[in-house]
Structure 1
Amino acid sequence: MYEEYYGFSERPFQLTPDPAFYYESVTHKKALSYLGYGLNQGEGFVVITGEVGAGKSTLVAHLKQKLDDDRMTVGEVVTSALDGEEMIHVAARSFGLDVTGGDKAADLAAIELFLHEEARNGRRTLLIVDEAQNLSIGALEELRMLSNFQLGSHPLLQTLLLGQPEFKQLLAHSDELEQLRQRVIAAHHLEPMQPGEIEPYVMHRLSRVGWNENPEIDGGIWVKLHKATGGIPRKVNQVMTRLLLLGAVEEQSVLEVDMLEAVVEEMTGDAAPAEASAKPRPDREGPAADAIARAKDEARQASNEFPAAPVAAPAEAGGAPDKGLLDHQIEAIEAAFAERDKHMSALRREVEKLSQERATDDLPADVDQRLASIEARLDEQERSLRHVLTMMIDYFESQGSRAAA
């Protein structure tokens, strides 16, 4: 929506990692230096850690673009809680090996044969393991054992481990990982962006989508944006998406500090504990506000019933298929808009009635109070519409987050 209003070629702050939007902050530049050094060694483990949303996946996507496909074969694993045997199987599959039905010994033999063939063909092999904090000690030990494969004195496999801060702590302090720790040849922890990097980061992403200074951005935003996001790139993307959406809805050509504050306040409310939402809501005058509340309740209930991605469940015998989260949200949003339209019609009739009374000079004594009430209700409808649009953005952002995690 907002990308059309401002004439962008695409969404500049999408959550899915895209190397085209890679921004080299100070910490990312250091990470690339460590990666370059580690890859030049051609052996052992390179470890990159960082908070959720710090840009690990985008960094790796950028790194892969720099690798020579003719000289390097890359396998990628995004882990769940794998044990040792599962880790070997998944690693084999990441290189495209057919290990269906094989046991651990067969999987290891297939991997070793593959690594020897790649080396004889003059190609190095890199295994990238994301979300390494989910791995068991046994799985990490199996990865260490894979690093033992050699052709003569030449190591056949190098491994890049990506993980959240808890993996950094595990690797540093676990007695069971001493041998793996000795094989780490380079490591770096991605820090949040510094306050002075927020503006260049945002401008970099906007420049990639054809931004021509529409909208303009108030210079007072940057310090507040850093404070609100802690300098975490994904959080910056989330806030900027909401801010641009608000600007498009209100048809603003300048994104100002008060708009950012409204967005941050709204997002902070969205992130409030679930029990806070159970508190009685203050009475509202318009039924559209009730419709919005019902829409939120239905979306929350649907999220509890369908925690995974919104894929339609198979139909029961003789019954209709269950609805996914997207279907629930669409129905709730449609209901909210229907209620809003009904209420707006009532407001129009009230204004027309007042206009007729003005024409006959037969104005009631409470006309000012009635006009103030109508204005307040119109403001409430605008806020309600903004909440509905926020729900839609929340859904697509949450799906993007799952895909990019």
Structure 2
Amino acid sequence: MYESFFGFSARPFQLMPDTRFFFKSAGHQRALAYMRYGLQQGQGFIVITGDVGTGKSLLLNALVNEMDTERLVPVRIASSRLDHEQVLKVIAGSLGLEYEGRDKAALLRDIETACQQVTAIGKRVIVLVDEAQNLPTDGLEELRMLSNVEHCGQPILQCFLLGQREFRNTLRAPGLEQLRQRVIAAYHLRPLSESETRQYIQHRLKTVGWRDDPRIEEPVYALITGATLGIPRRINLLMDRLLLNCGLDELHYIDEERTRTVIREVEQEVGSGNLPAEEGEAGEGEGLSDVMAPASGDVRHPVAIRTAADTARLESELAAVKVQLNTLMERNAHLARQLEARLEVARETEVVTEPIISDIDTVDDTASPGLQTEATLDDIADTRRSARRWQAALVVTAVVVLAGAGFAIWVLQARL
């Protein structure tokens, strides 16, 4: 709808994982490098995890686009709670094999034969699992068993597992020790920083022909980072709504006020908190050692797991409050600079005496205007007192919010 208004060739913030818009942040470049390393090794498991919406599917598409189909045969599994037999059927179907009415033993035999034939002609089967957190333990074990099969000293297939944060806990389960030992590379995608969020937005806009229309005010990027926590899918959702809003009102700029309005609208639609309301921490990129570590002790009680999710949500909300507080403090500093500039002008006026300047905070509001400069000082004093009251209210509000959020996080962590 807004594409024609701004002269875009396509929607820049669609939710589908289109590799035209692939943005190589520091984290995504590192994850892609690990996946390329895995392809070069030709064996083992490569694990990439990340919170909802961090770009795992797009990363997988980017890898597939790079693959040399003369040497590699990709088999994609978009896991939606498949059991171990269904996993085998998906692999068999991707290899062009019959799977209806075949039992597990027959499926395994057919898959092994087909993969050996592929290996015999100098190719290699690559199994790519998206949403791997939905795979049951026995499904992962089937993949491990297949990866053990060799032909002429070469593994007949290799596995790439991409899943959400909880998949790391799955891999730490006591029964998956043998699979963990076959993980040769692992990485956890982190959200985008504020500077990366700015680059990400502009990258997607430029891909569809953006030429600073609409113009985006600089403070908008900080607001978007705070509201979305740097999650690409959340950024897409918010930016798409902002562009639609501006297009409907025929505006060629995006400012702070409109951004705040749209953020409130989206949050009201999807629920309170950062948009959309999804669980997960904004963690750093963890590596192989984190995946290799086995689970310590028994699996946590569901209440503890839910409490950990609440802790992550509160930490996310606290981060957003800090971003908003920084924005408000910057505006306060700007106001203070304006007041100082006006005072400097007053000082340079010859009719203003030093006592008047020194007593500016106690100017009698009921006094006669007198000279024009004295009236100007009255206005400055009023403005300054208002600014101080606003600043005091801001500080109190920020302290209350931060203290409350910090206390809630401390209580929840104490319950873990």
TM-score (norm 2): 0.64
Partner amino acid for 1:53?
Answer: G
Q: Which residue of 1 aligns with 2:74?
A: 74
User: Take 1:109 and 1:193, find their aligned partners in 2: how far apart are those partners?
Assistant: 45
Q: Does residue 127 in structure 1 map to residue 124 in structure 2?
A: no
The residue that corresponds to 1:301 in the other structure is none
Structure 1 partner of 2:228: 229
Aligned length: 272
Q: What residue number does 1:163 align with?
A: 163
Query: Where in structure 2 are there 5+ consecutive unaligned residues?
Result: 273-416
User: What amino acid sits opposite 1:92 in the alignment?
Assistant: A
What are the superposed Cα offsets for residues 3-60 of structure 1, whole Å, 9 maximum, x if unpaired? Answer: 1111111100000001111000010011011111111110110001001110001011
Q: Helix, strand or coil for the counterpart of 1:237?
A: helix
* Distance across 2 between alignment mates of 1:168 and 1:59: 18
Cα deviation for residue 168 of structure 1 reads 1.1
2:240 aligned residue: 241
Give % identity.
Answer: 45
1:252 aligned residue: 251
For residues 249 and 96 of structure 2, the distance between their equivalents in structure 1, rounded to whole angstroms, comes to: 50
Kindly indicate whether the alpha-carbon contact (under 8 Å) linking 2:148 and 2:155 is maintained by their aligned counterparts in 1: yes
Q: Could you tell me whether the CA contact under 8 Å between 1:125 and 1:157 is conserved in 2?
A: yes
State the match for 2:35 in structure 1: 35
- Structure 2: how far apart are the matches of 1:96 and 1:166? 32
CA contact (8 A) 1:77 1:94 kept: no
1:206 alignment partner in structure 2:
205
Q: Secondary structure at the match of 1:147?
A: helix
- 1:185 paired with 2:184, answer yes
Do residues 271 (structure 1) and 270 (structure 2) align?
A: yes
* Aligned pairs (5 A) from 1:277-296: none
Q: Secondary structure at the match of 1:187?
A: strand
Q: Which amino acid aligns with 2:167?
A: F
Measured after TM superposition, the shift of residue 148 of structure 1 is 1.2
CA distance in 2, matches of 1:258, 1:18: 31
On the 8 A contact 2:129/2:160 being kept in 1, the answer is: yes
Answer whether contact 1:48 1:187 (CA < 8 A) is retained.
yes
2:319 paired residue number: none
Structure 2 counterpart of 1:330: none
SS for the counterpart of 2:148 is coil
Q: Which has the larger radius of gyration?
A: 2
Does the 8 A contact of 1:54 with 1:233 survive in 2? yes
Where does structure 1 differ by over 3 angstroms across 4 or more consecutive aligned residues? none
Q: Deviations over 1:119-175 (max 9, x none)?
A: 11111110001111111111111111110110132111000001000001221x200
1:148 aligns with 2:148: yes
Equivalences for residues 302-313 of structure 1 within 5 A: none
Give distance in 1, aligned partners of 2:31 and 2:186. Answer: 8
* Cα distance in structure 2, aligned partners of 1:141 and 1:162: 16
Q: Which residue of 2 aligns with 1:3?
A: 3
Contact 2:120/2:151, CA 8 A, preserved across alignment: no
Q: Give the distance between the partners of 1:101 and 1:64, measured in 2 at CA.
A: 31
Give the 3-state SS of the residue equivalent to 2:161 in structure 1: strand
Letter of the aligned partner of 2:182 in structure 1?
R
In structure 1, distance between residues paired with 2:264 and 2:78: 34
